[in-house]
Amino acid sequence: MIGLIVVPIDGSIVRLRANYAPRGLALSEIETEAGDPRVGPAVRKVWGMISRVRRLEGWKGLYKGFLPFIFNSVLISVFSVAFVEGSSTVSPKGTYQVPEAGGVKMTLFGIALTLVGIPMTVLINRSIVTPHLLPWSPKKAAKIILTPYERSKPWIIFLTPGLLAATAIHVLYIVVVSKTVRSFVVPELANGIFKNPSSSRDGPFATIRTGRLFVFLIFQALSVLVLCPLEVIACRLSVQRQNAEGEQSTGEIPSTYAAKDEDVITLRGEEEPYNGLIDAAMTIYQEEGAGRLYTAWIVTLFGALFGALFA
């Protein structure tokens, strides 16, 4: 049920971050005064993207990626049961349920999240941004969202330049850095607000010092400076298709498009792919401006603050 609400919102966030909008050349003083000219769809807000998808692709477009999203939720639930002592709640985008124990258990949890996160991120994001109608058959859908090279060598997805690094840093920051800082600054929340010893007696905030909690929330808010660019870069890298040398990626794609008039977003061409995490960051900055690295930052902020109290 939650997927019916989350999938359209998550899909809009993915489209916003994947949309390639390089700075264009202002042809007149009026365009210069009106703002920074862009090439491609000028959509900057989640609700604006939802409206655009609904107008161009209909309700089906809003639920692209639904099946891999559900499958990913099941996998995360399995790992939650294995590592978080039976807790399998669904957290907002950018948060993870972290095991109480440290050391080996936390390390294994981080590795599991990374290994599962990379292929599922690729499948979900590509299912969302593809301009083509996806059939219900997973095998036929795979021919659209994956290249022949990727289907013949599935492990090559893990070698997508920069994607493993972006995903690993994101997971480690949340699972290790944020968790460690919380344990030192607000030890009462070391395992989440609902596992605070005072929760069942005087209320969850009874033993928490307001000043310390405020400091940690500020830390979490500032974490957006690190986490949001990683999320944007990971999104861009996940939709960057890999081809064997000399291979063309359009051979098996059917001619049925989800939108008749125009594509919902513009994807960066495959002729000059991002070559890694740093290259992607620098290229996005140079071509689209620093602001593009903080697309949908409010979502990252919400996830960080939610994770500060509940994850």
Q: What is the pLDDT of residues 64-104, one digit of tens each?
A: 999 999 888 888 778 777 766 544 444 545 555 555 545 56
Closest CA to 258 of 54, 41, 57: 57
Highest mean pLDDT among 2-16, 62-76, 278-292: 278-292
What pLDDT, on a 0 to 100 scale, did the predictor assign at position 134? Answer: 87
How far is CA 194 from each of CA 17, 199, 308, rounded to the nearest angstrom? 33, 6, 12
What pLDDT, on a 0 to 100 scale, did the predictor assign at position 89? Answer: 45
CATH number of 2-310: 1.50.40
What are the residue ranges spanned by the domains of the chain?
Answer: 2-310
What pLDDT, on a 0 to 100 scale, did the predictor assign at position 86? Answer: 46
Average pLDDT score, the chain = 82
Q: Which CB contacts under 8 angstroms, 24+ apart, belong to 95-102?
A: 95/174, 95/303, 95/304, 95/306, 95/307, 95/310, 95/311, 96/171, 96/174, 96/175, 96/307, 96/311, 97/311, 98/174, 98/175, 98/179, 98/311, 100/190, 100/191, 100/195
- Mention every residue, 6+ apart, whose C-beta is less than 8 A from residue 280: 162, 233, 236, 237, 274
What pLDDT, on a 0 to 100 scale, did the predictor assign at position 220? Answer: 94
d(CA 67, CA 75): 13
How far is CA 41 from each of CA 87, 100, 125, 203, 241, rounded to the nearest angstrom? 41, 44, 18, 48, 21
Tokens standing for 67? 């099946």
Q: What is the pLDDT of residues 104-161, one digit of tens each?
A: 676 777 788 788 889 999 999 999 999 988 888 888 889 999 999 999 999 999 989 9
